[in-house]
Amino acid sequence: MTMLKTLSRAALVAGLLSTTMITASYAATVPEGTKLAAEQTFRYRVLDAINSLDPQVVEDVDSANVVNNLFEGLFSEDAAGNPVPGVAESFSVNADNSVYTFKLRDAKWSNGEPVTAQDFVFGWRRAVDPALASPYAYFVGLAGIKNADDIVAGKLKPEDLGVKAIDDKTLEVTLSGSVPYFVKTLAHATLFPAPQKVVEQFGKDWTKVENIVGNGAYKLTENNPGERVVIERNPGYWDDAKTVINRVEFLTINDENQGLTRYLAGEVDQTDVPAGQFPKLKGEYPEEAFSVPNLCTYYFSINVTDSAPDALKDAKVREALYLAVDRDVIVNNILQGGQQPAYTFTPPATAGFKAPDAPAAAMTQAERDEKAKALLAEAGITAENPLSFEYIYNTSDAHKKIATVVAQMYKEKLGVEMTIRDMEFATLLDTRHQKNYAVARNAWCGDYNEASTFLSLMDSKSSQNDSGYNNADVDKLLADSKVSTDPNPLYTQIEEKILADVPIVPIYFYTKVFMQKPAVKGWPYNNVEQIWYAKDFYKVAE
């Protein structure tokens, strides 16, 4: 038996409603009486050259921002990060939440051909095809689509993927089980459709300006890697009538300070704030400087495997290290970008997630320091039997400042000697992965707006589990959460286990700090993943 669901937020949360819906899509909503700017061009600074425009291949955030405007999946995200319909018009799901059936709207590719269910089947098979070797191939398995992991591993063929086109406008997706966050993954580029004929005709060159065909609100008109990528309004887009921004320029500016100068000169509409400059800019340009929560956590990984120093295998020692970090000093004096101190792993801004009350969060730093000393004494760390270990991080001014200040805190408060060593990013990743370290800098950003994107790192089998943390209870809770109708209480329990075992020392939750021209309206400030679509913006006359 299947039940129809509306695509509203309430329905996604509550589950099962039986009304057919009229799609409430998300678009630029210009209040009446607004005087729009004559030139509707949005200029956005990106850090580096855009790597790829292929939805199934793209991996970095800036490139994904371009792809999100050139293509459209079954769902997009609204300003708060909730799924809103894209190509999907409605969907239904079977009783055990394992088969989803999507009805597609009348949408067109930029060459005028209709977007069909087959295009999704082609795109998704492509994503897991070992021949394409997409770095995000794992995402399809993460979304729970049946057989994805086995296809990636070469045990099954791409045709065995749990997705099929019932007809041109009906797509059926079979999951390997209930996946509570499945619909949220559909706004991710990996699960966008791909234009089969174009991809097959041009091969790797299909994303070139002269060849590319998309189904998003914009079309690619210029691509000069390292300089700029330009996209312009696609009049064939199904919701084009509501689009206001005509042109988006993604300007590569490697240096943040240079980005700021060019922002102030009016050459870009939005740029990141260089580290440490937020308070000053907020003072000078209160209407233009923004600090919004981001779905990322900065933390230290502690090696808890056999290759670690013996002392670190003791949870008491790890907890002492966790307590003695004065996070307020780090966020207020070093970073100064509105970041929040972190005592747990998953950012509290994550949709639906409730962080446990970490006892340390309620203490003063003096109390935390006292407790840390007591714990070290219990663990037998004394002046005669001192603790020393090495902390590694990737070369960067900000990381260095944090490393230095934490080393100082450990030394002064606990008498612990933490030597610090920087290395290239690629080397750090390798060293961490090989577990050839004691304590290492780490950071994680969510792939989708749900706590499991963080907590799955604590699975003993996870390839991202740099600490080598192995707790059977955590593994079980993670497994249970996958089939639970409301996994969030389980996520809270996992956080509690992490608090007890301390395989990591959360330091702070990232914020995105940026400057944005007051003329730009419609930016999704409350979307913690900062996923944006230029079709939702408009510029007012100044």
Partner 1 sequence: MIRFILRRLAIAIPTLLALIVVSFILMKVAPGNPFTGEKTLPKEVMANIMARYGLDKPEWQQLLDYISNIVLHFDFGPSFKYKDRSVTEIIAQGFPVTFTYGMWTFVVSTVLGVFVGVLAAVRQNSWVDYLSLGITIGAQVVPVYVVAPLLVLIFTLWLGWLPGGGWNGGHWSNVILPVVALSFSLVASVARIMRSSMLEVLGSNYIRTARAKGIPGYKIILRHALRPALLPVVTYLAPMLVYVITGSVIIDMYFSTGGIGSAFVNSALNRDYSTAMGITILYGTLTIAGNLLVDLIYAWIDPKIRL
Q: Specify the length of the chain in residues.
A: 542
Minimum Å distance from CB 213 to partner 1?
Answer: 14
CB nearer to partner 1: pick between 135 and 380:
135
Instruction: Return the number of other C-beta atoms located less than 10 Å from residue 2's C-beta.
Output: 12
CB nearer to partner 1: pick between 156 and 407:
156
Q: Any idea which residue has 């707790």 for tokens?
A: 471
Q: Which of 121, 20, 128 is nearest to 74 (CA)?
A: 121
Bridge partners (DSSP) of residue 296 are: 445
Minimum Å distance from CB 363 to partner 1?
Answer: 31
Distance CA 136, CA 124 (A): 11
Q: CA 201, 202, 207, 210 torsion: positive or negative? A: negative
Q: What is the SS3 string spanning 165-188?
A: EEECCEEEEEECCCCCCHHHHHHC
CB nearer to partner 1: pick between 7 and 128:
128
Minimum Å distance from CB 481 to partner 1?
Answer: 19
Minimum Å distance from CB 219 to partner 1?
Answer: 16
Minimum Å distance from CB 184 to partner 1?
Answer: 18
Helix then strand count (H, E) for the chain reads 17, 20
Q: How far apart are the first and last CA of the chain?
A: 56
Alpha carbon separation from 529 to 56, 79, 252, 339 (Å, rounded): 19, 10, 21, 15
DSSP 16-70: --------------PPTT--B-S--EEEEEESS------TTT--SHHHHHHHHHH
CB nearer to partner 1: pick between 17 and 132:
132
Q: CA 236, 242, 244, 249 torsion: positive or negative? A: negative
CB nearer to partner 1: pick between 258 and 460:
258
Minimum Å distance from CB 523 to partner 1?
Answer: 23
With a CB cutoff of 8 Å and minimum separation 6, the contacts of 148 are 128, 137, 140, 141, 161, 162, 176
Using N-to-C axis directions, what is the helix angle for 472-483 and 488-501, rounded to 10°?
A: 170
CB nearer to partner 1: pick between 202 and 525:
202
The contacts found for 32-36 with CB under 8 angstroms, 24 or more apart, are 34/538, 34/540, 35/540, 35/541, 36/244, 36/538, 36/539, 36/540, 36/541
CB nearer to partner 1: pick between 58 and 355:
58
CB nearer to partner 1: pick between 136 and 343:
136
Q: What is the phi-psi region of residue 156: left when phi exceeds 0, alpha when psi lies from -120 to 50, beta otherwise?
A: beta
Minimum Å distance from CB 69 to partner 1?
Answer: 17
Strands (DSSP E) contained in 65-186 are 75-77, 83-85, 88-94, 99-104, 163-167, 170-174
- Residues near partner 1 (CB under 8 A): 48-49, 51-54, 57, 59, 130-135, 137-138, 149, 152-154, 204-205, 207-208, 224-228, 251-255, 257-258, 261-262, 264-265, 267, 424-427, 429-431, 433, 443-445, 463-464, 466
Minimum Å distance from CB 105 to partner 1?
Answer: 29
CB nearer to partner 1: pick between 227 and 417:
227
Minimum Å distance from CB 488 to partner 1?
Answer: 23
CB nearer to partner 1: pick between 274 and 415:
274
Minimum Å distance from CB 424 to partner 1?
Answer: 7
Question: Which amino acid is located at 484 in the chain?
Answer: S
| CA angle at 374 for the pair 371 and 379, rounded to the nearest 5° | 125
With a CB cutoff of 8 Å and minimum separation 6, the contacts of 156 are 147, 150
Minimum Å distance from CB 131 to partner 1?
Answer: 7
CB nearer to partner 1: pick between 115 and 253:
253
Contact between 493 and 345 (Cβ < 8 Å): no
DSSP 379-394: TT--SSS--EEEEEEE
Minimum Å distance from CB 11 to partner 1?
Answer: 31
Minimum Å distance from CB 200 to partner 1?
Answer: 16
Q: Element (H or E) spanning 515, and its range?
A: strand 504-516
3-class secondary-structure state, position 326: coil
CB nearer to partner 1: pick between 382 and 436:
436
Minimum Å distance from CB 201 to partner 1?
Answer: 15
CB nearer to partner 1: pick between 415 and 468:
468
CB nearer to partner 1: pick between 433 and 476:
433
Q: Any idea which residue has 């790192």 for tokens?
A: 457
